[in-house]
């Protein structure tokens, strides 16, 4: 009898666990799922406008699929998302106003992007960063992006294969970094650079272009077109495509991609780089050592693919990599913004001398001597080892 009572007691304890469900769950139709958050500031009034791109769960299923007759669905391209704005005296005020007046509870666990309007970024983004950091909505892996104009303009454009625009843009930024074009920067990485004593924060820049659509109409698309450079919390300039890649070479962020040199196109297989600081007679010299391997994809010359030609291709690669890195160095020194983290490498190696150097870093950085040393190697040349045409 006691055994039976014990069994019943165990059942009474276990069964509620399985039948109770998620006691604290909230149904999707009661949530405003924020996929992207934009921040703009009125230069005249100082008023802050937050733009919320929220997902409409009922519209996401099959939104980008085909219709029953085999054709693509038509209609409003933003049918899976909704844009709402909230204006206040600060970012925190705007967040609160949106939460108070929304018919749904805001949910930020799927937020992909924080987009900063250019004018707001130039005025200083510390108020935004501080409000986000102190709010439980913050997720450290959300991507930081700067818009060429207003943040709302970027969030309002449907582009790419993803039905949820912010997710499509996040995927585009990550793929761009994967192919070593522009950096991908999370909120945490941006904050870490901001907390550094000398390293300048960065974020990819996104603009809007117009292209001819399939029916001859004009279609707006978003494109990554630069890297925003900050001094403290204020944007002071930007790197173009070559300069952005030069930055990636220097800070060991090249993963894969392509190198175009006169007469050939090569695929980057591996790349490693190291920043080596030297302090000589109170002067700083930085050596950026890069080791790269590639495969030959395309050759439009007429020479035989010999060891001499491969050496020429390797030298051509080295020159092109050095050119890109030095373009980034020259731009960063012109902006007086240490985008490479040179100061941090000097600090780690010369701890005793660093306090004096740190106090003068603003004066030192623009005149640091930078030397780029590149080693390259061509691994594969494809299925043929001869030129298809001769002189």
pLDDT tens track for 326-349:
999 999 999 999 999 999 999 999
Give the relative orientation of helices 126-133 and 187-195 as an angle to the nearest 10 degrees: 120
Q: In what order do the strands lie in the sheet with 283-299?
A: 257-261, 264-280, 283-299, 369-380
Given a cut of 50, is residue 73 above it in pLDDT? no
Classify residue 117 by burial, with Cβ atoms within 10 Å: 0-12, 13-18, 19+. Answer: buried
Tokens representing 191 are 């904050």
For residue range 218-266, what is the model confidence (pLDDT) as tens digits?
778 888 999 999 999 999 999 999 999 999 999 999 988 999 999 899 9
Fold of the CATH domain 240-391: GMP Synthetase; Chain A, domain 3 (3.30.300)
Mean of pLDDT over the chain: 83
Biggest CA–CA distance in the chain, Å, is 101
pTM for this model (two decimals): 0.82
Average pLDDT of the segment spanning 213-217: 70
Q: Which residues contact 277 (CB under 8 A, 6 or more apart)?
A: 284, 285, 286, 342, 345, 346, 349, 350
> Could you tell me the residue ranges of all domains in the chain?
30-59+75-239, 240-391
pLDDT of residue 300: 81
Share of the chain above pLDDT 90, in %: 49
- Give the span between the Cα atoms of 255 and 169, in whole angstroms: 20
């Amino acid at each position: 009898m006691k055994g039976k009572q014990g069994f019943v007691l165990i059942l009474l304890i276990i069964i509620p666990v399985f039948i109770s469900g998620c006691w604290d769950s909230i149904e999707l139709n009661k949530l405003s799922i924020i996929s992207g958050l934009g921040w703009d500031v009125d230069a005249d009034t100082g008023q802050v406008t937050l733009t919320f791109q929220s997902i409409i769960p009922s519209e996401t299923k099959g939104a980008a699929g085909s219709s029953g007759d085999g054709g693509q669905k038509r209609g409003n391209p933003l049918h899976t998302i909704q844009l709402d704005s909230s204006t206040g005296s600060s970012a925190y005020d705007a967040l609160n106003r949106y939460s108070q007046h929304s018919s749904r509870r805001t949910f930020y666990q799927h937020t992909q992007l924080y987009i900063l309007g250019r004018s707001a970024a130039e005025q200083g983004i510390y108020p935004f960063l501080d409000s986000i950091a102190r709010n439980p909505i913050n997720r450290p892996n959300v991507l930081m992006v700067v818009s060429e104009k207003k943040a709302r303009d970027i969030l309002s454009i449907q582009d790419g294969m993803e039905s949820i625009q912010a997710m499509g843009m996040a995927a585009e930024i990550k793929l761009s970094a994967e192919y070593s074009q522009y950096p991908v920067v999370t909120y945490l990485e941006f904050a870490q650079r901001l907390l550094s004593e000398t390293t300048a924060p960065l974020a990819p820049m996104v603009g809007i272009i117009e292209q001819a659509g399939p029916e001859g109409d004009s279609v707006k698309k978003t494109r990554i077109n630069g890297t925003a450079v900050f001094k403290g919390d204020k944007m002071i300039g930007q790197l173009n495509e070559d300069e952005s890649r030069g930055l990636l070479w220097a800070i060991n962020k090249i993963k894969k991609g392509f190198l175009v040199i006169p007469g050939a196109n090569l695929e980057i297989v591996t790349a490693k780089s190291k920043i080596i600081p030297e302090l000589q007679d109170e002067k700083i010299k930085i050596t950026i050592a890069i080791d790269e391997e590639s495969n030959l994809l395309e050759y439009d010359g007429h020479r035989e693919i010999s060891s001499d030609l491969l050496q020429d291709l390797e030298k051509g690669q080295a020159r092109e990599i050095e050119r890109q890195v030095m373009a980034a160095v020259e731009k960063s020194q012109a902006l007086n913004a240490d985008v490479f983290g040179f100061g941090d490498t000097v600090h780690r190696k010369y701890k005793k001398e660093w306090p004096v150097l740190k106090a003068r870093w603003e004066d030192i950085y623009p005149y640091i001597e930078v030397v780029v040393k590149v080693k390259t190697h061509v691994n594969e040349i494809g299925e043929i080892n001869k030129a298809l045409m001769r002189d």
